[in-house]
Amino acid sequence: MQLQHLMAQHPGATVVVAGDFNLCIKKREPHLGAQLTQLLSTYGFHLANTTCATYRPAGTLLDIIATNRPDAVTRRGVTRCHYGSPHDFTRIVLRHVSAAGRRRAVTEARPISRIDDAEFNWLLSTSDWSDLHRAASPDGKWAAFLGTFTSLLDRVAPRRRVRLPPPGAPRITDATRDLLARRRALLGPGQNRADYRDVNRLCRAAIRRDHAAYYTDQLREAGPTRMWSVLRPVIGSGKGTAAAPPACTPDALNECYVRVGPTTAASVPAPQTAIPSLLPRVMSCVFRLHSVGLDTLYSIVSSMNKSSHTGLEGVSVDMFRRFFHGAGPALVDIVNCSLETGIVPATWKHALVTALPKSSDSHKPCNTRPISMLPAIMKVCERVVQGQLAEYFNDHHLFTDAQHGYRRNRSTETALSVITDKVYRAMDSGEISILVWHG
């Protein structure tokens, strides 16, 4: 009855049941096998595992595996015990069968990791950039850059259709795959059990080593600010089930995000009294953006995160980092043209917005958080402007000591240490401290 209820709740699903059933397949109790087969067929199940004995001294099949989809069984057999016990394990391999016929997502991507950096930088440095240098506007220069850069990428790493890997364990190396193939070969009949144990021990050690190297590299690239984005999939979020992708439409998301600014402004009450403001500092110079050199732009690009997001134009920050020695002069020309003319091309302002769910109820747009991914060239220009603006404020002492955000060598930790010190000073003086947070 439980099997019938389970199949009624999940029609079309692949159901596998396992049980402990002492059945001698050599010489005793042959009628029990027929009775078991008839019992399983009554509920729509078929015996799926092998007829080989799992307890070798007695020739007994102890473990029974049945499924309602015998056509999905691709392999069946017996796996030797890793600890030398005569009681082996029954196993079957099922082909994934989905009721909706869903397949792994397919996308188009370039094998950027297979590009030889030195060779591609040489191709970029010897290419004809005359169209880029002749263009007078940032739009024309960027279009010429994309034409040359994309054509060279098509030569060394053409776009191809790839299947996205399913979420799971990190990838392993080719050496570990060879060890896994050797272990599978030792599962056949007539193989030496001692050899299988040795190779199996090597496989487990290699997988642990690959996983440790993978997460070490991920943590090194992410840095301390993004450490939990790497560790959370491993240790779990602590909230039970993971949040599902947003189920609302793009129009509903866009309408919700556009209303955030006006709604927040309307909710802020007007001040009862005039807020005193400081007069601007009188200075003999004004802030002006100035052009950057090749070394300065290289240090800026090298300090940026290794983002592989290509955006709508197929260029990422990671490409700028790896291929700067070849494409650096062209990038300097584009950035300086934008700074000198004060023009930001419209294509640089087009961002890909991804809605991340903040809770399990993703049907409401207010329960999502938008992440905006700007083009790589726009991120580089923003970093150049931010550096010059911060330098101007520091040189003319325009930053207040109470500001800790967006300043070098300052963060929320320094702000917390200042507040803690003020509270301790008030306690030593016998005063009472009141902290007010408004969010």
pLDDT by residue (tens digit) across 346-388? 999 988 888 888 776 667 788 888 888 889 999 999 999 999 9
Residue-level pLDDT at 311: 79
Quick check: helix, strand or coil at residue 56? coil
| 304 torsion bin: left (phi>0), alpha (psi -120 to 50), beta (else) | beta
Q: How far apart are CA 372 and CA 351, in angstroms?
A: 6
Most confident region among 65-69, 95-99, 250-254, 384-388 by mean pLDDT? 384-388
Residue 185 vs residues 174, 180, 362, 403, 414: alpha-carbon distances, Å? 17, 9, 47, 65, 59
Comparing 45-59, 220-234, 258-272, the range with the smallest average pLDDT is 45-59
Residue-level pLDDT at 168: 57
Task: Determine the longest span between alpha carbons in the chain, in angstroms.
Answer: 105
Which residue would you say has higher pLDDT here, 245 or 39? 39
Over range 281-291, report the average pLDDT.
Answer: 77
Instruction: Give the residue from 76, 67, 71 showing the smallest Cα distance to 40.
Output: 67
Beta bridge partners of 61: 23
Instruction: Confirm if 133 and 145 have CB atoms less than 8 A apart.
Output: no
Which residue would you say has higher pLDDT here, 278 or 427? 427
Residue-level pLDDT at 2: 57
- The packing angle between helices 324-341 and 138-156, to 10°, is 160
Residue-level pLDDT at 241: 47
Which residue would you say has higher pLDDT here, 411 or 124? 124
Residue-level pLDDT at 324: 95
Over range 284-291, report the average pLDDT.
Answer: 83
Q: How far apart are CA 219 and CA 237, in angstroms?
A: 17
For residue 72, give the DSSP letter: G
CA 14 to chain CA centroid, nearest Å: 30
Comparing 167-181, 226-240, 343-357, 402-416, the range with the smallest average pLDDT is 226-240
First to last CA, the chain: 55
pLDDT tier at 26 (50, 70, 90 boundaries)? very low
Instruction: Confirm if 359 and 345 have CB atoms less than 8 A apart.
Output: no
Over range 110-120, report the average pLDDT.
Answer: 89
What token pair was written down for 434?
A: 């009141």
* pLDDT above 70: residue 50: no
pLDDT tier at 317 (50, 70, 90 boundaries)? very high
Instruction: Confirm if 301 and 317 have CB atoms less than 8 A apart.
Output: yes
Instruction: Give the residue from 293, 295, 335, 301 showing the smallest Cα distance to 318.
Output: 301
Strand positions, DSSP E, 278-367: 352-357
Residue-level pLDDT at 30: 52
Over range 281-294, report the average pLDDT.
Answer: 81
Sign of the four-CA dihedral 258, 262, 267, 273? positive
What token pair was written down for 220?
A: 């090194």
Residue-level pLDDT at 274: 77
Beta bridge partners of 91: 77
**Other C-beta atoms within 10 Å of 271: how many?**
7
Q: How far apart are CA 127 and CA 281, in angstroms?
A: 49
Give me the torsion for CA of 237, 241, 242, 248, rounded to 10°. -140
Q: How far apart are CA 254 and CA 355, in angstroms?
A: 10
